[in-house]
Amino acid sequence: MNMMLEQLTVGVMGVCCYVLGCPETRQAVVIDPGGDEDRILAVLERHGLTLRYICNTHGHPDHVCGNQALKDKTGARIAMHEADAEFFARPEIDQFFSALGLPSSPPADVRLADGDTIEAGSLKLAVIHTPGHTPGGVCFHTPGHCFTGDTLFVGGVGRTDFPGGDTATLRASIQNRLFPLPDDTVVWPGHGYGGLRSTIGEEKRSNPLL
């Protein structure tokens, strides 16, 4: 599929943020705006893109702290899995993560479920529910590309010691939901800890944690 794709490393936590666009309609999706909103907006402006959706792979503040600013500037709708929309709205959970000093997301406009599709022009992102890092963690898949958030890194996996995390659940999500994808599918992670991109085949062969 013909898709515009730009990867940015943003914010104090070094989050990999993605700007995806449809070349025909110039409609766009931003995945995980974890800060540096002006840089994200500059990419949209440079390519003449209209932002339709702000998509979060999960609700941790480092991945959602730019939601409000982008929504205010563009009117785009915030999309997050229903389980994380509920989990991170709980007062005790919000209080725990507020210690990171990053703003939480406003309420999601679109509550996602496994199998849903986000559409922006010809761009279609399938929602794959991959709990384990958080209860409502998701990956966004379009043929040839998978945006894995903190579920799967290059040579690593997401941590599970925060509230809502579970190691066995995360491992099952990767093995059962991501590894059946074609081996040449590009893995675009939520942080560049081991590298900024990989493939499903490479992670199956060499990820030491799997």
Q: What is the residue extent of each domain of the chain?
A: 4-206
Determine the Cα–Cα distance for residues 46 and 39; give it in Å rounded to an integer.
Answer: 10
Fold of 4-206: Metallo-beta-lactamase; Chain A (3.60.15)
pTM of this structure: 0.98
- Residue 1 has a pLDDT of 62
Residue 171 backbone dihedrals phi, psi, to 5 degrees: -60, -45
Task: Confirm if 73 and 37 have CB atoms less than 8 A apart.
Answer: yes
Query: Which pLDDT belongs to residue 2?
Result: 83
Amino acid 100: pLDDT: 85
Other CB atoms within a 10 A radius of the CB of residue 130 amount to 30
- Each residue's pLDDT expressed in tens, for the chain with a length of 210 residues: 689 999 999 999 999 999 999 999 999 999 999 999 999 999 999 999 999 999 999 999 999 999 999 999 999 999 999 999 999 999 999 999 998 899 999 999 999 999 999 999 999 999 999 999 999 999 999 999 999 999 999 999 999 999 999 999 999 999 999 999 999 999 999 999 999 999 999 999 999 988
User: Is residue 91 classed exposed, middle or buried when 0-12, 13-18 and 19+ CB atoms within 10 A define those classes?
Assistant: exposed
